[in-house]
């Protein structure tokens, strides 16, 4: 099921990337909704690092990470796909993953909103509303959910210009290798953080797994303890909104709404009063 080769980039994409580059911002605020039995739903927000649009190209990695992918026989995914889906990396044990329903035992609320503020010379707020999903669980009990999520992401991916959808190169693209690419993009110390004691549990409690300790360095990109907790969180945007304050006398607010229209979908743009 190759994605539609003709699908075009989102109309806001170039503007977003130019603001990101100019402002040198790299993190944003990600909000989720937390449900608990018998309690009203509450918002939760935290800072996360934007890891680019899915799928992260291997060529964007540090050369040591590229060398590690090759040396450990994982290899590099061909750079044949792109999308307008925001990616971040996270730990399956953190609150946000359960809140969006990405943990093994959880039904969650996939609704998320990401807020970027591009300050320096850009003065623009970006709000990205949509569905948050995770990939990267290798657990057998997650296999069905993982495949359904992959299909949803795949439907919003497109072939890069010049890529031939039926070529052997395109067929060689693999999900597992893509998750490993995100894992490799972290430093060994950052990879080690996926073997920390469970985030958010009391420090007075001994970790239930003796391999969970602070300050570990991970070189093995398949390290089972770290990879069990490592996830790529992908935002499938449904609504993207900018508030451009760069000219105080002409503040601009624009919203793009994703319309599921045939295979590829399309974006509808409206200019609003700020
Ligand atoms: C600058 C900065 C960047 C961060 N980047 C991430 C990230 O990319 N992924 C992540 O899961 N947490 C990141 N965190 C930590 C989160 O803010 C948060 O503490 C953690 O994800 C646990 O939140 P949760 O339990 O609500 O999921 C970052 C924190 C800061 C201050």
With a 6 Å cutoff on the Cβ, whether 27 touches ligand 1 is yes
- Average pLDDT for the chain: 94
pLDDT of residue 160: 94
Residue 174, Cβ neighbours under 10 Å: how many? 14
Quick: pLDDT tens for 79-110.
999 999 999 999 999 999 999 998 766 678 99
Q: Give the distance (Å) from ligand 1 centre to CA of residue 126.
A: 19
pLDDT of residue 261: 82
Nearest atom, ligand 1, residue 32 CA? 26
With a 6 Å cutoff on the Cβ, whether 49 touches ligand 1 is yes
Q: Which residues are CB-contacts of 85 (< 8 A; sequence separation ≥ 6)?
A: 53, 54, 153, 156, 157, 234, 235, 236, 237
Quick: pLDDT tens for 157-213.
999 998 888 888 899 999 999 999 999 999 999 999 999 999 999 999 999 999 999
With a 6 Å cutoff on the Cβ, whether 90 touches ligand 1 is yes
Q: Give the distance (Å) from ligand 1 centre to CA of residue 196.
A: 14
Domain ranges of the chain: 13-272
pLDDT of residue 136: 98
Q: Give the distance (Å) from ligand 1 centre to CA of residue 198.
A: 14
User: Which carries the bigger pLDDT value, residue 262 or residue 257?
Assistant: 257
pLDDT of residue 169: 87
Q: Which CATH fold would you assign to the domain 13-272?
A: Pnp Oxidase; Chain A (2.30.110)
Which protein residue's CA is at the shortest distance from atom 19 of ligand 1? 46
Which protein residue's CA is at the shortest distance from atom 10 of ligand 1? 90
With a 6 Å cutoff on the Cβ, whether 88 touches ligand 1 is yes
With a 6 Å cutoff on the Cβ, whether 165 touches ligand 1 is no
Q: Round to whole Å and give the CA distance between 161 and 250.
A: 36
Quick: pLDDT tens for 14-46.
999 999 999 989 999 999 999 988 999 999 999
Give Dmax (Cα) for the chain.
60
Determine the distance from the C-alpha atom of residue 190 to the mean position of all C-alpha atoms in its chain, rounded to a whole number: 17
With a 6 Å cutoff on the Cβ, whether 112 touches ligand 1 is no
Considering just the CA atoms, what is the radius of gyration of the chain in Å? 19
């Amino acid at each position: 099921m190759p994605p539609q080769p003709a699908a075009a980039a989102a109309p806001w994409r170039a503007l977003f990337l130019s603001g990101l580059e100019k402002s040198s911002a790299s993190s944003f605020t990600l909000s989720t909704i937390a449900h608990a039995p018998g309690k009203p739903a509450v918002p939760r927000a935290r800072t996360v690092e934007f890891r680019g649009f899915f799928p992260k190209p291997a060529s964007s990695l540090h050369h040591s990470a590229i060398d590690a992918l090759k040396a450990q026989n994982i290899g590099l995914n061909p750079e044949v796909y792109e999308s307008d889906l925001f990616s971040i990396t996270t730990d399956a044990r953190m609150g946000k993953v359960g809140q969006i329903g990405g943990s093994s035992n959880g039904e969650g609320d996939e609704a998320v909103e990401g807020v970027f503020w591009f300050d320096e010379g850009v003065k623009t707020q970006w709000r990205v509303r949509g569905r948050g999903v995770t990939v990267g669980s290798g657990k057998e009990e997650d296999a069905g959910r993982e495949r359904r999520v992959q299909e949803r992401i795949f439907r919003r991916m497109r072939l890069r210009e010049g890529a031939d959808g039926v070529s052997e190169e395109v067929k060689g693209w693999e999900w597992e290798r893509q998750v490993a690419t995100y894992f490799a993009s972290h430093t060994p110390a950052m990879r080690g953080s996926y073997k920390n004691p469970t985030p958010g549990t009391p420090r007075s409690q001994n970790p239930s797994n003796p391999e969970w300790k602070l300050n570990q360095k991970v070189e093995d990109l398949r390290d089972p303890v770290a990879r069990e907790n490592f996830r790529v969180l992908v935002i499938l945007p449904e609504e993207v909104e900018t508030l451009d304050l760069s000219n105080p006398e002409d503040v601009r607010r624009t919203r793009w709404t994703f319309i599921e229209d045939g295979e590829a979908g399309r974006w509808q743009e409206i200019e609003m009063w700020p």
